[in-house]
């Protein structure tokens, strides 16, 4: 038991430490001065010192600090394996396994050639060797040599598959159902080991073995229901594995395996089959299996939130609809080609609905980490692509252009109602594609009717969509935004081009009417020249359109429209003085200059009146 002397010693040590801390605090910059001196001789008798003062003649030795159990040093990080270590521990191991397998294969071949072992014994040796390797790999894995154990497991599973194949195909020892069930059991065993050992490589071996089963047991007969039902179940098996472990590459492997089997079957049997419902039905089933992957919430339940942005998911999401549509195209290209356009429309609608479902299911945390936008834009882009493909499949000539314009209007309306900026941008892209096709690729066969023809109708639809775009840009960004300026310039340019085409066609039809009226024109007789009237009509169109733009610009108080009107009027002035002055003659020249002068004086009068108070005030 401690006595009074021990307590007194402990009290003195605590007082000494307190005094030393106080002295150190007073030496720090900005420390407040002590209310009284520590020295007891200088302190007034009525002021108590803030700390107990003890004589500091003897040297203080602090007690030893015992190490704390709770503050142990962190374990040293395991250094990453360098190239030499990987080669020595993994690659040499795999090469050694391969060498042993080759040696065993040569030995078995020698034994088989010399009839040392019968068919039943050969299959039994293969199965026992495969089972033994898998059992040995489990023991090796428990000792910490996981890469070596994975190699042994893969080798054992491969030997079992080959042994069952030999029992069925080479020696006919077992019927097809027994071999099929045995291979499924091997696949399930490999998947169980993969889950137990948390090894993605073993899961990949199980998926590869599962897809190899139909090829190993094929008899060359056309059994699409059995084959594709098994493939569909195998896809579900891969999805379940990915739901239990974050092994996203299994989805990509299952997707590729499905494509290989479907294309292989179609090239061998489907292309010669008049009944295409089986091929189309299973193609739809496979498409839906991979299309609904984002809706399966168990696939999102892992700690990392990069599942949606993984390369495997992006590849499957992009190529799944493309492969499905190509499959249907190959089936119905020469039978129901027009129906493919409705298939494309249906796929576009399906992906729009899927994108909406994914948007509603996303959490704010997920959306903040950048997964949400990728998810939405990816499926919306696929939807827009199919809607764009549907138009040329169903329509022809200028109807394709008009369909793109209608698609642009629909996407713009949906994007505005749903507040989806991506759809509005895609609408502008579809509009641009339609305008380019209309200006440079469409060959319009216009009728004799002025304005009421296919070309002018197409331009009217384009102008209507441009009006929608201008309205939304003005509503969201205002009249001073660069986008509004660009849209209005495009609108006015297309309107002038459409009206100019009508003028050109009108005067081009006058010459055949003259020939039909007078029969034939004798040699040397002057042919009526309608080019002067056409050139004057062009100038008149530009003048009137410029005047209309000035009026609308003052009415809507739009500086953008007024500036465009001034540029158009400047172009009209240049045409009148540089072209009409030399090409026009007689009354046409007089009318051109008088009309231009009247227009310029009228516009000048409007600006001089300053109805909008433009002088000294910026809009």
Using alpha carbons, select from 426, 352, 415 the residue that is nearest to residue 388: 426
What does the DSSP assignment read for 416-454? Answer: HHHT-HHHHHHHHHHHHHHHHHHHHT------SSSS-SH
User: Residue 335: its pLDDT value, please?
Assistant: 62
The secondary structure element, H or E, covering residue 227 is helix 224-244
Using alpha carbons, select from 407, 457, 462 the residue that is nearest to residue 435: 462
Contact 390, 341 (CB under 8 A): yes
Say how far apart CA 521 and CA 549 lie, in whole Å.
Answer: 44
User: Residue 218: its pLDDT value, please?
Assistant: 84
What does the DSSP assignment read for 404-425? Answer: HHHHHHHHHHHHHHHT-HHHHH
> Helical H runs in 246-370?
249-268, 277-291, 311-332, 337-361, 364-368
Q: Where are the domains of the chain?
A: 1-57, 529-619
Contact 430, 407 (CB under 8 A): yes
- Which ranges of the chain have pLDDT less than 70? 1-6, 26-94, 96-98, 100-101, 104-105, 107-109, 111-112, 271-275, 297-310, 334-337, 359-376, 395-397, 418, 445-448, 510-530, 580-586, 588-589, 607-619
User: Residue 60: its pLDDT value, please?
Assistant: 47
Contact 286, 351 (CB under 8 A): no
User: Residue 80: its pLDDT value, please?
Assistant: 54
Taking the mean position of all CA atoms in its chain, how far away is CA 118?
Answer: 57
Say how far apart CA 56 and CA 174 lie, in whole Å.
Answer: 99
User: Residue 105: its pLDDT value, please?
Assistant: 67
Using alpha carbons, select from 472, 455, 484 the residue that is nearest to residue 560: 484
What does the DSSP assignment read for 337-381? Answer: HHHHHHHHHHHHHHHHHHHHHHHHH--HHHHHTTHHHHHHHHHHH
Q: Is 114 strand, coil or helix? A: coil
Say how far apart CA 43 and CA 577 lie, in whole Å.
Answer: 108
Q: What is the pTM of this model?
A: 0.57
* Token pair in block for residue 343: 């298939």
Contact 379, 358 (CB under 8 A): yes
Using alpha carbons, select from 172, 180, 250, 169 the residue that is nearest to residue 212: 180
Neighbours of 465 (CB within 10 A): 24
User: Residue 508: its pLDDT value, please?
Assistant: 77
Using alpha carbons, select from 385, 256, 264 the residue that is nearest to residue 321: 385
User: Residue 320: its pLDDT value, please?
Assistant: 93
Q: What is the pLDDT of residues 406-453, one digit of tens each?
A: 888 877 887 777 677 777 887 888 889 889 988 888 877 665 678 888
Q: What is the pLDDT of residues 506-562, one digit of tens each?
A: 887 766 554 444 444 443 444 455 677 787 788 888 888 988 888 888 888 888 888
């Amino acid at each position: 038991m401690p006595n009074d002397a021990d307590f007194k010693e402990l009290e003195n040590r605590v007082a000494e430490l307190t005094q030393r801390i106080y002295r150190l605090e007073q030496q720090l910059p900005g420390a407040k001065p002590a209310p009284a001196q520590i020295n007891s001789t200088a302190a007034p008798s009525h002021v108590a010192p803030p700390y107990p003062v003890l004589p500091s003649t003897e040297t203080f030795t602090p007690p030893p600090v015992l190490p704390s159990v709770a503050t142990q040093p962190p374990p040293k990080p395991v250094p990453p394996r360098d190239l030499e270590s990987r080669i020595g521990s993994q690659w040499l191991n795999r090469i050694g396994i391969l060498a042993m397998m080759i040696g065993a294969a040569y030995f078995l071949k020698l034994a088989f050639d010399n009839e040392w072992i019968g068919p039943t014994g050969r299959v039994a040796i293969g199965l026992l060797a495969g089972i033994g390797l898998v059992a040995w790999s489990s023991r090796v894995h428990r000792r910490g040599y996981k890469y070596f154990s994975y190699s042994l497991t893969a080798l054992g599973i491969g030997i079992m598959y080959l042994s069952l194949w030999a029992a069925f195909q080479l020696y006919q020892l077992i019927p097809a159902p027994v071999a099929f069930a045995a291979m499924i059991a091997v696949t399930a065993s490999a998947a169980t080991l993969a889950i137990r050992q948390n090894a993605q490589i073993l899961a990949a071996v199980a998926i590869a073995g599962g897809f190899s089963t139909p090829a190993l047991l094929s008899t060359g007969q056309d059994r699409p229901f059995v084959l594709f039902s098994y493939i569909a179940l195998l896809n579900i098996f891969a999805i379940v594995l990915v739901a239990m472990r974050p092994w996203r590459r299994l989805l990509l492997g299952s997707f590729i395996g499905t494509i290989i089997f479907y294309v292989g079957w179609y090239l061998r049997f489907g292309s010669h089959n008049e009944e295409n419902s089986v091929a189309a039905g299973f193609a739809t089933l496979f498409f839906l299996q991979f299309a609904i992957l984002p809706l399966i919430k168990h696939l999102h339940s892992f700690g990392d939130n990069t599942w949606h942005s993984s390369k495997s998911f992006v590849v499957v999401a992009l190529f799944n609809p493309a492969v499905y549509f190509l499959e249907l195209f190959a089936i119905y290209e020469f039978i129901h080609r027009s129906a493919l356009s409705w298939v494309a429309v249906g796929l576009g609608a399906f992906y729009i609905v899927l994108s909406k479902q994914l948007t509603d299911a996303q959490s704010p945390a997920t959306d903040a980490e950048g997964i949400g936008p990728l998810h939405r834009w990816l499926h919306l882009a696929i939807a827009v692509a199919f809607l764009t493909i549907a138009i040329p499949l169903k329509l022809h000539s200028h109807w394709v252009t008009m369909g793109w314009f209608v698609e642009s209007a629909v996407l713009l309306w949906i994007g505005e109602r749903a507040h989806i900026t991506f759809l509005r941008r895609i609408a502008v892209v579809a509009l641009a594609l339609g305008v380019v096709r209309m200006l440079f690729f469409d060959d319009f066969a216009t009728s004799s009717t002025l304005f009421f023809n296919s070309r002018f109708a197409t331009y009217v639809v384009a102008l209507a969509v441009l009006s929608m775009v201008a309205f939304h840009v003005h509503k969201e960004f205002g009249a001073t935004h660069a986008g509004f300026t660009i849209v209005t310039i495009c609108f006015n340019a297309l309107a002038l081009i459409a009206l100019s085409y009508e003028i050109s066609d009108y005067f081009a039809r006058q010459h055949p009417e003259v020939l039909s009226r007078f029969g034939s024109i004798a040699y040397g007789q002057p042919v009526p020249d309608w080019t002067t009237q056409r050139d004057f009509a062009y100038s008149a169109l530009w003048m009137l359109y410029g005047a209309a733009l000035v009026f609308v610009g003052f009415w809507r108080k739009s500086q953008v429209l007024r500036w465009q009107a001034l540029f158009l009027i400047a172009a009209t002035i240049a045409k009148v003085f540089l072209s009409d002055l030399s090409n026009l003659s007689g009354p046409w020249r007089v009318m051109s200059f008088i009309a231009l002068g009247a227009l310029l004086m009228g516009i000048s009068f409007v600006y001089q009146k300053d109805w909008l108070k433009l002088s000294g005030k910026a809009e």
